[in-house]
Amino acid sequence: MIQVNLNKEIETKFNRLLKNYQGDYNNVFNDVINYYVEELKKGMKNIELDLLYFENRYSLTTEKFYKNFQKGELGDENNDYIQWCGEYEIWLDHKKDLAELT
């Protein structure tokens, strides 16, 4: 059982949404989770396009780049490297979240 404290505005919106589901909390939360899963997938696809750009630009797979970057072998003065690393870490977070929700 989940107990949630909502502020009045959110509670009003949630109750409005709940009417569409005829009070079925399971379907509400299932749809919210499914929506979030789809958003994660979209986000991952967008990040993958950026990762592919960096892979082509530097002729290096993201995994190999990340391993080398984490070891300090590439330096951190290249802004592309910082962005590449950050985007990959976000992709990894999304992947973890996706695995837990599916």
Q: pLDDT for 20-75, tens place per residue?
A: 998 888 999 999 999 999 999 999 999 999 999 999 999 999 999 999 999 999 98
Task: Measure the CA angle with vertex 1, ends 29 and 31; round to 5°.
Answer: 5
pTM: 0.84
